[in-house]
């Protein structure tokens, strides 16, 4: 019997893949990369054609030994890492560490983890694609050069520990520029006029001011409003025009990585990292019960920017739609969606692996998040293959003294794809309505041309234009995609990096630049303009694609980049670092009660806190706690007790090990006391209160409040019951059904009934 070894990238796939292959296949995982560039040095020989120096990743020694041992015992080896550049590079690195045993290795890949896909991949192994490997290497080398050669300039100029990144710097710049737009925004006044009317048959209808003689007019001040009011005051409204039409609304295409992140954010408020984690779980495989085939990979590979769908998937969708909804719900020809020009077409769009696995049928096997995301992917794919919806629209104009008021409405003539993807059309219908009016009526009562309407009332409202919104994760991903910055596999890591390194912070669900992010962006704009140039970054992504396609050599792309980058480094070395750049402080509205200054946000060992800016003269600090997504100060609670040292009020504070009492005159007086909770029982030794306490390891015990004068304490639970022998306190043993006397000399003990 042949001894075959399959090496996956993620251990989460082992169960599914193992169940599809016979007993003569051993399945193990590399758990991501096994080799990488060293952290302690650049690791790239720039002068020798950018040759990278890879080392085994620290902490993976035992895993590498196991991989080598299993490879030596195997007759055939299959590298089954993810079907993208990163996965191809991992296979290449695996081949490098296996040495001579790699000669019996072949590369396989599958876009979905299903029995058919895995077995077909085993039947058609191939060699490692060095074009894919070189594209990944080029990205890694570029990122290493930019990070390791720019970061020292930031250390000298701003502060140590900072890092620059080829794409993370661009993403930070995008968020900084939006913040500048918001700061510079000047609100503009505008007005709307709403006419509430009634038909002769007593049906209500509302219409917004549109313009005059067919031309749209924007009302910018109260003077215009008064003029319109004065002219329409004494005249009637009559129907001047009615337009009816049928709109064909096509379904949206199946998801790609960016649109899945955007829709999951819009519907469920998922952050991109959460979306991709759930999608990874659905892709790797979940046990959906024996009746559904056991362990199944539920979706295709989730890092893709291609809208391509396999013929097999299209045929499955057609059969399902015609059987479930009828032949009129499937178009005359299958729908084919065109991917963007710069899309990599290695994978299909994100779709269910088996359309027969309906979300509700497997709901009990999924977590809440898994079910919601699977249902979203499943419904979007099925809807994408269905017929268009037919929407009957009506646009009505009402004329008064030459002025036009307009309303619109719609009814669904044929639901088409809306039968399954019910929420998505809302946005499309709203955009349809906005072509005509601000009013959103689902239906308009019957109207005839020249019909006169009764006036109920006319309302004018003042408005001001709003500044652009900050980016949230979904809108940032959309912007990155539109500009060609990054690829599906990099969107989430980019956001994670700029947040973790303190260039950007969360403000609710929105992303806001920190003072550090703004200062760093300013330096990058002035000294490394190419690195943070949108077009330059997008062109570099295209260059990586050309390496993948085999149209250009990796070294040529690196040489072209470095010739210009070297000049920027030289110029920066002559100007940067001569003067320190001060990072603006993050000021709060909280006033220091000791010196009256506005307190500022600081970063400490245990996270953010606020402190007086006059440190060390004033050492006042306050703890910050997380309340949802907003940072708030913990309210200061004054207790009914005075400090025995200086007589000031004692206040409740929060510390590393829980709450405690401190003098409000801190830092002049540093008196503190532990916070205990009284339990309404008296100490059997001295009559003082008994209090509940906790150790640093959160273990509860009880003791006398006058400790250390009185040494009474117990790990068990004091009770009100008296000992029948000595009248001492009976204590209940934790987790055991008996009581015992607190007085060891007495020794009384009784089982509880």
Digit-coded pLDDT (tens) for 393-428: 999 999 999 999 999 988 889 999 999 986 433 444
For domain 4-128, is the CATH number 3.40.50.140?
Answer: yes
In degrees, to the nearest 5, what angle opens at C-alpha 574 toward C-alphas 568 and 577? 100
Domain boundaries, the chain: 4-128, 138-184+469-575, 189-250+389-464, 257-384, 586-674, 716-753
Q: Is 301 a catalytic residue?
A: yes
Q: Are 547 and 554 in contact (CB under 8 A)?
A: yes
User: String of b and e for 498-530 (b: at least 16 CB within 10 Å)?
Assistant: bbebebbbeeeebbbbbbbbbbbbebbbebbee
What are the CA-CA distances from residue 489 to residues 88, 302, 486, 493, 535 (Å)?
Answer: 13, 9, 8, 8, 20
**Which of 211, 217, 243 has its CA nearest to residue 404?**
211
Report whether pLDDT(574) > 60.
Answer: yes
Confidence of residue 377 (pLDDT cuts 50, 70, 90): very high
What pLDDT is attached to residue 146?
92
Q: Rounded mean pLDDT of 547-566?
A: 94
Report whether pLDDT(520) > 70.
Answer: yes
Confidence of residue 753 (pLDDT cuts 50, 70, 90): low
What pLDDT is attached to residue 425?
37
What pLDDT is attached to residue 480?
92
What's the rounded Cα separation, in Å, for the pair 445 and 460? 24
Report whether pLDDT(273) > 60.
Answer: yes
Q: Which two tokens stand for residue 576?
A: 């940067």
What pLDDT is attached to residue 438?
42
Dump pLDDT digits (tens) for 435-494: 434 444 457 888 999 999 999 999 999 999 999 999 999 999 999 999 989 888 888 999
- In angstroms, the first-to-last Cα distance of the chain is 66
pTM for the whole structure: 0.75
Place of tokens 């689902």: 442
Dump pLDDT digits (tens) for 166-199: 899 999 999 999 999 999 999 999 999 999 999 9
Architecture of domain 189-250+389-464: Distorted Sandwich (2.70)
Share the mean pLDDT of the chain: 87
Residues in the chain: 753
Q: Are 321 and 329 in contact (CB under 8 A)?
A: yes
Beta bridge partners, 674, equal: 660
Q: Which two tokens stand for residue 684?
A: 């059997």
Looking at 20, 25, 283, 301, which residue is catalytic? 301
Q: Are 422 and 284 in contact (CB under 8 A)?
A: no
Radius of gyration (C-alpha) of the chain in whole angstroms = 35
**Which of 711, 689, 710, 713 has its CA nearest to residue 702?**
713
CATH no., domain 257-384? 1.10.290.10
SS3 154: helix
Q: Rounded mean pLDDT of 565-574?
A: 88
What pLDDT is attached to residue 232?
94
Dump pLDDT digits (tens) for 654-710: 665 556 778 877 777 888 877 777 788 889 888 888 888 777 666 788 888 877 788
User: String of b and e for 182-205 (b: at least 16 CB within 10 Å)?
Assistant: eeeeeeeeebebbbebebeeeeeb
SS3 382: helix
What's the rounded Cα separation, in Å, for the pair 569 and 150? 8
Q: Which two tokens stand for residue 4?
A: 């075959």
Report whether pLDDT(616) > 50.
Answer: yes
Q: Rounded mean pLDDT of 121-140?
A: 95
Report whether pLDDT(588) > 90.
Answer: no
Query: Any idea which fold 138-184+469-575 has?
Result: Topoisomerase I; domain 2 (1.10.460)
Characterize the bridge pairing of strands 189-198 and 452-464.
Answer: antiparallel
* Residue percentage of the chain with pLDDT more than 90: 56
* Preceding omega of 667 cis (within 30 degrees of 0): yes
The answer to which of 140-154, 273-287, 313-327, 661-675 has the lowest mean pLDDT is 661-675
Q: Which two tokens stand for residue 165?
A: 């990144």
What's the rounded Cα separation, in Å, for the pair 89 and 54? 12
What's the rounded Cα separation, in Å, for the pair 293 and 207? 57
Q: Rounded mean pLDDT of 556-564?
A: 94
What's the rounded Cα separation, in Å, for the pair 414 and 404? 31
Report whether pLDDT(434) > 60.
Answer: no
Report whether pLDDT(633) > 80.
Answer: no
Q: Which two tokens stand for residue 184?
A: 């510079």
In degrees, to the nearest 5, what angle opens at C-alpha 447 toward C-alphas 445 and 452? 115
Beta bridge partners, 227, equal: none
| Non-local CB neighbours of 653 within 8 Å, separated by 6+ positions | 623, 659, 660, 661, 662, 672
Confidence of residue 638 (pLDDT cuts 50, 70, 90): low
Confidence of residue 613 (pLDDT cuts 50, 70, 90): confident
In degrees, to the nearest 5, what angle opens at C-alpha 263 toward C-alphas 260 and 269? 115
* DSSP assignment of 528-543: -TTTT-HHHHHHHHHH
What pLDDT is attached to residue 225?
96
What's the rounded Cα separation, in Å, for the pair 724 and 13? 65
Better-scored residue on pLDDT, 678 or 626? 678
- DSSP H helices, 74-125, are 85-98, 115-123
Q: Which two tokens stand for residue 638?
A: 């004054």
The packing angle between helices 168-184 and 515-527, to 10°, is 110
Q: Which two tokens stand for residue 503?
A: 């260039």
What pLDDT is attached to residue 460?
95
Residue 483 falls in which region: left (phi positive, over 0), alpha (psi -120 to 50) or beta: alpha
Q: Rounded mean pLDDT of 555-560?
A: 95
Dump pLDDT digits (tens) for 137-167: 999 999 999 999 998 888 877 777 677 888 9
The answer to which of 1-10, 229-238, 384-393, 525-534 has the lowest mean pLDDT is 1-10
What pLDDT is attached to residue 656?
56
Report whether pLDDT(87) > 90.
Answer: yes
Of all helices (H) and strands (E), which one includes residue 619? none
């Amino acid at each position: 019997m042949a001894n075959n070894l399959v090496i996956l990238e993620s251990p989460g796939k082992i169960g599914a893949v193992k169940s599809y292959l016979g007993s003569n296949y051993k399945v193990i995982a590399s758990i991501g990369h096994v080799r990488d560039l060293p952290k302690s040095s650049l690791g790239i020989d720039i002068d020798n054609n950018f040759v990278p120096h890879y080392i085994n990743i620290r902490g993976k020694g035992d895993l590498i030994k196991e991989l080598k041992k299993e490879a030596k015992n195997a007759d055939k080896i299959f590298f089954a890492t993810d079907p993208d550049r990163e996965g191809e590079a991992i296979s290449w690195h695996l081949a490098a560490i296996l040495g001579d045993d790699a000669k019996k290795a072949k590369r396989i890949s599958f876009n979905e983890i299903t029995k058919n896909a895995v077995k077909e991949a085993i039947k058609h192994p191939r060699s490692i694609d060095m074009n894919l490997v070189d594209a990944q290497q080029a990205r890694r080398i570029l990122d290493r050069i930019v990070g390791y050669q720019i970061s020292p300039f930031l250390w000298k100029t701003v502060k140590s520990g900072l890092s620059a990144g080829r794409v993370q710097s661009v993403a930070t710049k995008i968020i900084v520029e939006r913040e500048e737009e918001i700061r510079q925004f000047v609100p503009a006044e505008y007005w709307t006029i709403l006419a509430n009317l009634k038909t002769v048959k007593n049906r209500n209808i509302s219409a917004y001011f549109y313009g005059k003689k067919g031309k749209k007019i924007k009302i910018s001040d109260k003077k215009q409003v008064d003029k319109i009011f004065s002219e329409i005051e004494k005249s009637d409204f009559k129907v001047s025009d009615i337009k009816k039409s049928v709109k064909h609304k096509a379904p949206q295409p199946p998801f790609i990585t960016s649109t899945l992140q955007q829709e999951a954010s819009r519907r469920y408020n998922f952050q991109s990292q959460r979306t991709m984690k759930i999608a990874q779980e659905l892709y790797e495989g979940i046990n959906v019960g024996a009746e559904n085939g056991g362990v199944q990979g539920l979706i295709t590979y989730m890092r893709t920017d291609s809208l391509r769908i396999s013929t097999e998937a299209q045929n499955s969708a057609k059969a399902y739609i015609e059987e479930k909804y009828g032949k009129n719900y499937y178009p005359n020809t299958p729908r084919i969606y065109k991917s963007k020009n710069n899309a990599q077409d290695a994978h299909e769009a994100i779709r269910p692996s088996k359309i027969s696995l309906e979300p509700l049928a497997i709901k009990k096997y999924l977590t809440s998040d898994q079910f919601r995301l699977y249902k979203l992917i499943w419904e979007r794919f099925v809807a994408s293959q269905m017929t268009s919806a037919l929407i009957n629209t009506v646009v009505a104009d009402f004329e008064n003294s030459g002025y036009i008021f307009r309303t619109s409405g719609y009814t669904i003539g044929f639901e088409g794809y809306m039968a399954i993807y019910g929420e998505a059309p809302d946005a499309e219908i709203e955009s349809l309505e906005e072509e005509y009016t601000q009013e959103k009526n689902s239906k308009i009562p019957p109207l005839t041309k020249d019909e006169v309407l009764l006036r109920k009332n006319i309302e004018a409202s003042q408005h001001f234009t709003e500044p652009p919104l900050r980016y949230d994760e979904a809108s940032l991903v959309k912007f990155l995609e539109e500009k060609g910055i990054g690829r599906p596999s990099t969107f989430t890591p980019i956001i994670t990096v700029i947040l973790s390194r303190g260039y950007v912070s969360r403000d609710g669900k929105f992303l806001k630049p920190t003072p550090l992010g703004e200062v760093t962006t300013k330096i990058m704009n002035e000294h490394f303009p190419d690195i943070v140039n949108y077009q330059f970054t997008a062109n570099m992504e295209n260059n990586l694609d050309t390496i993948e396609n085999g149209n250009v050599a990796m070294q040529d792309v690196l040489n072209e980049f470095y010739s210009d980058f070297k000049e920027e480094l030289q110029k920066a070395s002559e100007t940067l670092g001569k003067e320190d750049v001060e990072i603006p402080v993050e000021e709060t509205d909280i006033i220091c009660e000791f010196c009256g200054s506005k307190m500022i946000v600081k970063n400490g060992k245990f996270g953010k806190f606020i402190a007086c800016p006059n440190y060390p003269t004033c050492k006042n600090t306050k703890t910050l706690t997380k309340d949802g997504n907003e940072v708030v100060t913990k309210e200061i609670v004054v207790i009914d007790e005075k400090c025995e040292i200086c007589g000031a009020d004692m206040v409740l504070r929060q510390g590393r090990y829980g709450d405690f009492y401190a003098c409000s005159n801190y830092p002049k007086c540093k008196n503190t006391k532990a916070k205990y909770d009284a339990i309404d029982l008296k100490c059997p030794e001295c009559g003082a209160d008994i209090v509940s306490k906790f150790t640093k390891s959160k273990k509860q015990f009880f003791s006398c409040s006058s400790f250390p004068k009185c040494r009474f304490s117990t790990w068990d639970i004091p009770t009100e019951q008296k000992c029948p022998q000595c009248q001492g306190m009976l204590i209940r043993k934790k987790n055991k059904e008996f009581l015992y006397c607190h007085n060891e000399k007495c020794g009384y003990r009784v089982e509880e009934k």
